[in-house]
């Protein structure tokens, strides 16, 4: 399992300075370059032109994460898959956002995640929370809608590791604001999104972009086809909030995780996804 952590973190910096995930010199516990903990106040995400759904704020971003995980679906009575949420781990990649290869780094991580990793996303999250590396930024999952109690709302949780470990308000629960089909391959790659804060202090707005994978098959047979989890990778960038990237507790080597599940359902911090 430690080898999986090596592969995933190496993939997160694939091609940077020659550190390809297939043969680079990076290894967990003794990195030869810095991946996380850098300022991104000059970074501007590149969204497609000619649309108004995704517009980056004029204020500087606070955090950026490269996420890998699964999109979860169930087969509805209409014989189409409908979303039941997602689970993902976010890696802090703030120190490489200005590298030219950053624009395609999601493809390198997706190749590793889909071809070399036989474990569920929950197994990987559990492993990372035992190792507790400083590169872990947050976890992404869904909770019951806190406003209506109906349906699910996305949550990005910074409270379980890294500099915000134990900071109770270091999360964002959000609602949708804007969406565009993935400009790469909308049949394969999940949409790019803009969501805004409902609860939490870590950010007031989050964008999902540079998505790879995550889309379900185009049809299913209700009553026959079960729930599925589709692997995906994306970038998430966080703006606003009252907890800046310079705040939070110092990184600690101690961490705990007590959840176990399949990739399509489980529990984390008391919530279901």
pLDDT, mean of each 10-residue run, the chain (273 residues): 58 47 42 81 96 96 97 97 97 94 94 90 88 89 94 96 90 98 98 98 98 97 96 98 64 33 34 31
pLDDT at 111: 94
pLDDT at 33: 65
pLDDT at 129: 82
pLDDT at 249: 43
pLDDT at 254: 34
pLDDT at 246: 55
User: Could you read off the pLDDT of 232-261 as tens digits, one per residue?
Assistant: 999 999 999 998 665 544 333 333 333 323
HSE on the CB side for 150, CA within 13 Å?
1
User: Could you read off the pLDDT of 134-161 as tens digits, one per residue?
Assistant: 889 999 999 999 999 999 999 999 998 8
Check: CB of residue 200 under 8 Å from CB of residue 172.
yes
Distance CA(83)–CA(40), nearest Å, equals 32
């Amino acid at each position: 399992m430690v080898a999986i952590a090596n592969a995933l973190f190496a993939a997160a910096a694939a091609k940077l300075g020659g550190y390809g995930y297939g043969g680079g010199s990076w290894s967990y516990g003794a990195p030869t370059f810095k991946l996380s903990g850098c300022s991104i106040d000059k970074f501007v995400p590149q969204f497609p032109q000619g649309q108004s759904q995704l517009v980056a704020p004029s204020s500087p971003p606070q955090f950026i994460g490269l996420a890998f995980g699964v999109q979860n679906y169930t087969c509805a009575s209409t014989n189409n898959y409908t979303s039941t949420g997602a689970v993902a781990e976010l890696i802090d990649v703030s120190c490489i956002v200005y590298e030219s290869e950053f624009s395609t780094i999601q493809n390198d991580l997706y190749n590793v995640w889909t071809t070399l990793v036989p474990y569920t996303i929950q197994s990987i999250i559990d492993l990372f929370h035992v190792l507790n590396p400083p590169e872990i930024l947050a976890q992404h999952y869904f909770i019951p809608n806190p406003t209506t109690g109906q349906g699910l709302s996305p949550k990005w949780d910074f409270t379980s590791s890294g500099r915000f470990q134990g900071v109770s308000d270091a999360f964002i629960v959000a609602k949708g604001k804007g969406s565009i089909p993935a400009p790469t391959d909308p049949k394969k790659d999940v949409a790019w999104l803009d969501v805004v804060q409902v609860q939490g202090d870590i950010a007031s707005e989050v964008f999902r972009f540079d998505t790879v994978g995550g889309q379900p098959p185009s049809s299913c047979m209700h009553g026959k086809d079960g729930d599925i989890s589709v692997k995906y990778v994306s970038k998430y960038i966080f703006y606003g909030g009252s907890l800046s990237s310079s705040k939070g507790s110092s990184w600690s080597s101690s961490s705990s995780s007590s959840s176990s599940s399949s990739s399509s359902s489980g529990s984390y911090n008391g919530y279901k996804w």
